[in-house]
């Protein structure tokens, strides 16, 4: 006797019906969010590359600030999500927190590439170098290494709960490092400039500040859209793993039943 499990695909079209659009991680809310992200990104191009003037000292390279500063902020936000969700996973053991921690780390890593890429390209004409071992840059590099390590840890072939626990311990260290990155320009005087917009009297021209705010809006919506979709991907991965395990257990049970039946039949024949 052989046992075959029904196919797991439950979204197959009915006989003769048109095939449905592949169901993924989208929903009406993410579609609205996505449209908002696209519209605000178009506004960012307009403000950042056309309306905003060139800086008196840095020239047009200042236009990289409209990407660099918001990307760095959302890198911090992603790390914040991972640390909080890691703590809640360790406390509650709810799979949703584990999925959120993973999503936060991966999206933060993408934003770290934008931060370092735009920052390096801005640094070359401004400082004369793409990279220097300044306190801000070095601490950011450490943060990126931690994010890469966190995501590598999540890909180890371990028991899922043990893997999530180990990753969560590393995830807890992200926000303390973000604080070091953020305060590094105050604690250690280096090449990187200090606070510009978080001061009570921002030392930035009005139209540049507007472009920067549009940058925060656009990259914030992109960040939110990516976080929602990436969280859902992590959730689906957990469910797919669970269904794989269920299938394997069902097959083993079916094999055990087969073996028992065969033994009984053999005894009866003898």
Binding site for another protein (CB under 8 A): 8-11, 22-27, 29-30, 45, 48-50, 54, 59-61, 63-64, 67-68, 71, 110, 113-114, 117-118, 121-122, 124-125, 222, 225-226, 229-230, 232-233, 236-237, 239-240, 243
- Classify residue 20 as left (phi > 0), alpha (psi -120 to 50) or beta: beta
Nearest to 186, CA basis, from 198, 175, 200: 198
DSSP label at residue 46: H
**Residue 258 Cβ, how far from another protein at the closest point, in Å?**
26
Task: Decide whether 189 or 242 has the Cβ nearer to another protein.
Answer: 242
Closer residue to another protein, CB minimum distance, 94 or 239: 239
* Dist. CA 170–CA 150, nearest whole Å: 6
Which residue's CB is nearer to another protein, number 107 or number 143? 107
Looking at the DSSP bridge assignments, the partners of residue 59 are 55
Structure token digits, residue 153: 């840890």
CB of 138: closest distance to another protein in angstroms? 21
Q: Which is nearer to another protein, 4 or 269 (CB)?
A: 4
CB 74 within 8 A of CB 220: yes
Contact 151, 106 (CB under 8 A): yes
Between 170 and 227, CB nearer to another protein = 227
Assigned token pair, 246: 């269920």
Q: In 3D, which of 261, 259, 3 has the Cα closest to residue 269?
A: 261
Helix (H, G, I), strand (E, B) or coil at 55: strand
Least spacing, CB of residue 47 vs another protein, in Å: 12
- Helix axis angle, 95-127 relative to 135-154, nearest 10°? 150
Q: How far is the CB of 219 from another protein (least distance, A)?
A: 8
Q: Give me the residue label for tokens 């669970």.
A: 242
> Smaller CB distance to another protein: residue 71 or 153?
71
From the CB of 68, what's the least distance to another protein, in Å?
Answer: 8
Roughly how many angstroms between the first and final C-alpha of the chain, as a whole number? 20
Q: State the minimum distance, in angstroms, from the CB of residue 237 to another protein.
A: 6
């Amino acid at each position: 006797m052989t046992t075959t499990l029904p196919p797991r695909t439950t979204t197959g079209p009915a006989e003769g019906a048109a095939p449905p659009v592949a169901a993924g991680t989208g929903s009406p809310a993410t579609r609205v969010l996505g449209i908002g992200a696209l519209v605000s990104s178009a506004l960012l191009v307009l403000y950042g590359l056309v309306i905003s003037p060139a800086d008196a000292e840095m020239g047009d390279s200042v236009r990289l600030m409209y990407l660099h500063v918001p990307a760095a902020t959302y890198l911090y936000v992603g790390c914040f999500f991972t640390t909080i969700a890691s703590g809640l996973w360790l406390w509650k053991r709810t799979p949703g927190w584990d999925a959120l921690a993973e999503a936060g780390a991966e999206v933060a890593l993408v934003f770290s590439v934008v931060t370092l890429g735009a920052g390096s390209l801005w640094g070359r004409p401004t400082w004369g170098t793409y990279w220097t071992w300044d306190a801000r840059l070095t601490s950011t590099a450490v943060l990126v290494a931690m994010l890469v390590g966190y995501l590598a840890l999540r890909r180890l072939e371990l028991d899922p709960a043990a893997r999530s626990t180990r990753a969560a311990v590393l995830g807890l260290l992200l926000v303390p490092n973000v604080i070091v990155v953020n305060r590094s320009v105050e604690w250690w005087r280096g090449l990187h400039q200090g606070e510009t917009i978080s001061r009570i009297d921002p030392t930035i021209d009005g139209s540049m500040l507007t472009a920067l705010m549009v940058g925060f809006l656009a990259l914030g919506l992109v960040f939110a859209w990516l976080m929602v979709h990436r969280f859902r991907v992590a959730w689906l991965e957990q469910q797919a793993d669970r269904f794989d395990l269920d299938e394997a257990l069902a097959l083993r049970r079916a094999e055990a039943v087969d073996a028992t039946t065969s033994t009984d039949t053999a005894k009866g024949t003898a």
